[in-house]
Structure 1
Amino acid sequence: MSLAWFDLAMVTEGICQEVKRIDTQELKGRVFDIIVVGGGITGAAVAHEAALRGRSVALFEMNDFGSATSAATSKLIHGGLRYLKNGEFGLVRESLRERRILGDIAPNLVEPLRFLIPRYSRRFRKNVPLRLGMWLYDQLSFDKSRVAEPKNRLPRRALFSAAQTLESAPALDSFGLQYAVSYFDYANVNPDRMTMAFLKTACEHGALVANYAKVHSLVRDGNRIVGVQVTDRLTQATYACYGKWIVNCAGPWSDKILNTNQAATARQPVRSEGVHLITSKFRFQDAVAMETDHGDHLMFLPWRGLTIVGPTDKPYTGDPDNYAPTAASVQELIDKVNALLPAEPVGGAFSRSDILFHYGGLRPLVGLDTQQDSYSASRRYEITDYSRQGMPGLICVEGGKYTTSRGLAAQVLDLLMRQSGWPSASQDSSRYVLSPCRVGPYQQFIDDLMTGYESGFQPETISYYARNYGVEAKMILDKAREHPEGREMLTQDGEIMAEVDYVLEHELVYTLDDLLFRRTGIGWMGKPSDEVFRKIAKKLGQRLNWSLADQQRSIVDCLEKRYTLP
């Protein structure tokens, strides 16, 4: 039985457009129920869960929201098929349940994506376990069609013939290809917009948030942790914020928070590096997942008319502050592509010149005591109450994956509600639609947008904003109507200049990196033209009172950081 839209908590008034940064005057004399350290998807989900349950919450992120691990995903909401190999049935089932929930509460931000796993005669012995695993994955996702939005209901697994497989993925090697196993997960085309949707919903319910606000130490009262000391990285001012509970959601930096002022002895975390490449050299109608000769996997993911290739998955032992993808990681992916795809169908071997963009990030792992094989490591999470280590008031969240962040947050709040004796939740986050995502039946929503804005806008532009901004799409399109220069097309799939104006006005943008990669998706499609760079830097500079030299410096910094291949 499928849910209907009236089964979900929908709010039609008071949509939260604007994210306001914490004003330190708001902190004077105030003790929050919860302080969240870290503004990636985990921290955003914890703040969202706390605010929905009626708790006062403040969140601090040392860089930009969602700028580290959360920005380096494969852009999927998935159950984790490969974790079945490790016998992690509970993790897979939890992930599949959370996948379904996100299909309900963020219906425009996810969409079904067919995966193909091609099977070759030379790997015959591995075909039987795969088909058994796919059967089990299907059984564990028994509720995949129980979503309110019809477009997000997922079909069952199927088999593709060799001919069907090559039609969908002509770049594959045809020699020895027998068939492909087909199944569905969700694409999350723009994870940064989903992170922002969680933050906006938290703010709608009273949460206070700040990016570029670094927690540099914990505040004690006796043994208890009662607050944090914060440095505002925009003004260099320092201030204290007090709370009944501090929840450390700093991901790969969690040990650094724990070690401030020797608050606790943190175990050395195990971090895994994941690097992806974006290319236009080959295109796939469906996602393709292939096993390499080394026993790991490589994915080819259709995305915005391009293809994402990745990820790498190996331990990282350095300081997370100094992390950047290396030439070795890029070459590793190039070599894997060339080992799996024949050169002839795609016009020659894959090379560095075919890479439009690259990105990478660190994942915190739990359950590993040494820097062993991170590929086979669990993606489960741990919630640690430091009361047991003589540090009451401090909770640390480690591990996990993007897909399970809401469920993780719910468990954190369950723990704090029990510890504090707070009354039961006022809202169920598994049924509460995120603020920008209250679109109702999606087909009707997009049909109405197409009808209302067909004059003056390309269909791909309307579709892009419907998917990525939900109800805020109208505000961006209206802004472009009022100012025709806002209709300038910036990407092949429909982004326009009015989006830049909108996020500058409403979403705490302080760098070109924030603007191009975490509010809009302009930068992900490859290097913008010099003219577009100048126009966008000028708009940001006008808002931040930058000189022309400041604008040019920001362009140079962005080019060096983002578009220089290691």
Structure 2
Amino acid sequence: MKRALDPLHEEPFDIVVIGAGILGASIARDAALRGLSVALVEKRDFGAQTSANSLKLIHGGLRYLQHLDLARMRSSIRERSVWLRIAPHLVEPLPFVVPTSRSGLHRKTLLRAALQVNDMLSRDRNSGVPEERHIPAGRALSRNETLELVPELESRSLTGGVMFHDALMYSAERLVLAVIQGAHAAGAVVANYVEIQGRRSAGTGVTTLAARDHRSGSSFEVHARLVVNAAGPAAPTLAARLLGHSTLVETPYSLALNLVFPAREHRVAFTLPSSSRDPNSVVHTGSRQLLVVPWRQRSLIGTAHYPLAGRGGDLEAVEDGTVERFLAEINQAWPEAAFDAAKLEHVHAGLLPTLSDSGSSPVRLLKRHRVVDHGAEGAPWLISAVSVKYTTARLVAEEVVDHLFTRRGSTPPPCRTSHTLLPGAPASVAELLAAARRNYGELLEGEVLEHLVRSYGTGFPRVLDYRRTLPRWDERVEASAPVIRAQLVHSAATEMVCCAEDLVLRRTELGPRGLASDAALAAAAEALAAAPAPAG
């Protein structure tokens, strides 16, 4: 996948998708798989904004039981199964422990009943999913079992716990990239660092968009029969710019934070009661729950939601004091951990859509996605889509593409994205890893080889091909992470990398693990220079 802008200048596309986070990427892939000519453009790097802010969870919506939203829960369960099916190297089951107490809504009898409802609603959760990625049924835990898994839950009121399973992304960044690679493989023209700055004209069934390449500074035109605005928090601003007036897609946004700390050696994710309440819950369970998620030798803690001045746009920086405010909430819930800024490895920050009355704390999140057809505003060529979570982006994309066909006056062909594997997806991760160890075990240490299999799936041998031409190909970029020099050069040559930050922050786990050091960035710059083909 090389960065080439000339194809963007050619004949009009059926669809131009603006914004290459998980939603825009999913729309482009779906449309291309259904036979439309598609362009996908992103003004920054792929997945660089809200899609990069994540607890790495693909969740089945168990929490929606307390919202009494069974339909949303059911769709989340189905979409979790889809990701486990189409990207088993990048998504895997994750056990969760919720502590139980003697009274209130966290009594074991009530939580056991919740698990029974969850199991009933998710009875088909493993349909078509590789056996090694099956989601087990939930179960109750004794007090001793709970404390053996999470000693930090010790308290006089603890009676035990319940365990259920959700799904964890090995890399949220590479999952977005895999969806984009899938769109490209299906025929979509893809380009990062291309900004749509406005509309030149619209008529005779074709809209002309003004575009700018942020790498070269050049301007050019892109022609589309239909335009999909999937620009995330920038969607309202983009829609207004394309239409020349304020629009129906106006949506307020809030700041969401997830913090990354050194690993606490937990084998399970677990919940901790916070001092704040969950304003999105219909059944009030008292305090809201913080989630502690083990990921890649790190502990992720989230999610905090804070009001945001303004109505979306790009998030350039987190306001002073915001991280400290969340740290204080975490330490109140988990005083023994004594987290402070010195222990903080990385901050995931992004913007999430909220309800219109969320001008102050506590934030009330938008519960359902929005698809806005701007035909009512005199712009039948423009559709805007606002998603609310990573898990259901594929499903929202399916709705958008169905609408695109209807807008074109044709019957939508069947959607293929729920069963078409993403590039690199193996039939069995365990079998692929076993074969990798047999064939390459003498070349690389086990941790690095497993990392390559999990990151690239069946494509991992292409990284190893660099052993023939690249000096120190197997050298780790950072001693504490299994990322090697060959990965940097491979990504620079084949994954549309334009700068060192792209490599460190979004093609490897170095940035998300808090390892974006000067040395890592220098190694990335060296890889860009050594890549056998220019990235752009």
Question: Which residue identity does 2:104 align to in structure 1?
Answer: F
- 1:459 corresponds in structure 2 to 446
**1:272 paired to 2:264:** no
After TM superposition, give the deviation of residue 300 of structure 1 in Å: 0.7
Cα deviation digits, residues 503-539 of structure 1 (max 9, x gap): 0001111222211111111222233555444333233
Provide the C-alpha distance between the structure 2 equivalents of 1:23 and 1:531, rounded to a whole number of angstroms: 31
Q: Deviations over 1:319-374 (max 9, x none)?
A: 6335422343322332222222242xx5xx22111112222111234x53543556
* Distance in 1 (alpha carbons) for counterparts of 2:83 and 2:527: 34
Q: 1:325 to 1:229 in 2, by over 3 A?
A: same
2:501 match: 513
CA distance, structure 2, for counterparts of residue 130 and residue 315 of structure 1: 31
TM-score normalised by the chain length of structure 2: 0.91
User: What is the CA distance between 1:186 and its match in structure 2?
Assistant: 0.5
User: Any conservation in 2 of the 1:275–1:325 contact (CA below 8 Å)?
Assistant: no
Deviation per residue, 1:184-208 (Å, 9 max, x gap): 0000120111111111111111100
Q: Does 1:312 align with 2:293?
A: no
Alignment-derived partner of residue 216 in structure 2: 235
* Map of 2:3 onto structure 1: 21
Inter-partner Cα distance in structure 2 for 1:545 and 1:471: 22
Could you say if the C-alpha distance between residues 332 and 160 of structure 1 is closer, same or farther in structure 2, counting changes exceeding 3 Å?
Answer: farther
Name the SS of the counterpart of 1:292 in structure 2.
strand
Is 2:431 the counterpart of 1:450? no
SS of equivalent to 1:196: helix
- The alignment partner of 1:34 has SS state of strand
Listed one character per residue, the Cα deviations across residues 160-193 of structure 1 (whole Å, up to 9, x for unaligned) are 2222122212233333221111100000120111
**2:283 pairs with 1:294:** no
CA, structure 1 residues 359+293, in 2 after alignment: closer, same or farther (shift >3 Å)? same
Whole-Å Cα distance in 2 between the matches of residues 211 and 374 of structure 1? Answer: 35
**What is the alpha-carbon distance in structure 1 between the residues aligned to residue 511 and residue 315 of structure 2?**
22
**Which residue of structure 2 aligns with residue 355 of structure 1?**
344
Q: 1:470 to 1:453 in 2, by over 3 A?
A: same
The match for 2:154 is: 173
Identity across aligned pairs (percent)?
A: 29
Unaligned runs of 5+ in 2: 278-287
Contact 2:8 2:189 in 1 (8 A): no
* Alpha-carbon spacing, 1:446–1:176, altered in 2? closer, same or farther (3 Å): same
Deviation of 1:250 (Å): 0.4
2:281 maps to which residue?
A: none
The residue aligned with 1:371 is 359
- Alignment root-mean-square deviation, CA: 2.4
Contact 1:223 1:392 in 2 (8 A): no
Aligned amino acid, residue 289 of structure 2: H
Q: CA–CA distance in 2 between the matches of 1:242 and 1:533?
A: 37
The residue number in structure 1 matching 2:523 is 535
After superposition, residues 200-349 of structure 1 pair within 5 angstroms as: 200-221=181-202, 226-260=207-241, 262-266=243-247, 268-280=250-262, 282-295=264-277, 296-318=288-310, 320-343=313-336, 346=337, 349=338
CA distance, structure 2, for counterparts of residue 369 and residue 323 of structure 1: 24
Number of residues of Structure 1 aligned to a counterpart in Structure 2: 520
SS at match of 1:278: strand
Unaligned runs of 5+ in 1: 1-18, 547-566
Q: 1:151 aligns with which of 132, 136, 139?
A: 132
Give the whole-Å Cα distance in 2 for the aligned partners of 1:484 and 1:222: 55
The answer as to whether partners of 2:275 and 2:333 remain within 8 angstroms in 1 is no
Q: Partner letter of residue 317 of structure 2?
A: A
In structure 2, relative to structure 1, the CA distance for the partners of 1:372 and 1:66 (3 Å cut) is: same
Contact 1:379 1:401 in 2 (8 A): no
Question: 8 Å contact 1:113–1:185 — kept in the other structure?
Answer: yes
The corresponding residue for 1:485 is: 472
Tell me, what secondary structure is at the counterpart of 1:486?
coil
- For the Cα contact (< 8 Å) 1:42–1:405, is it kept in 2? yes
Q: Secondary structure of the equivalent of 1:20?
A: coil
Q: Is the 8 A contact 2:49 2:314 kept in 1?
A: no
Structure having the larger proportion of residues in helix: 1
CA distance in 1, matches of 2:45, 2:213: 12
Tell me the CA shift for residue 209 of structure 1.
1.0
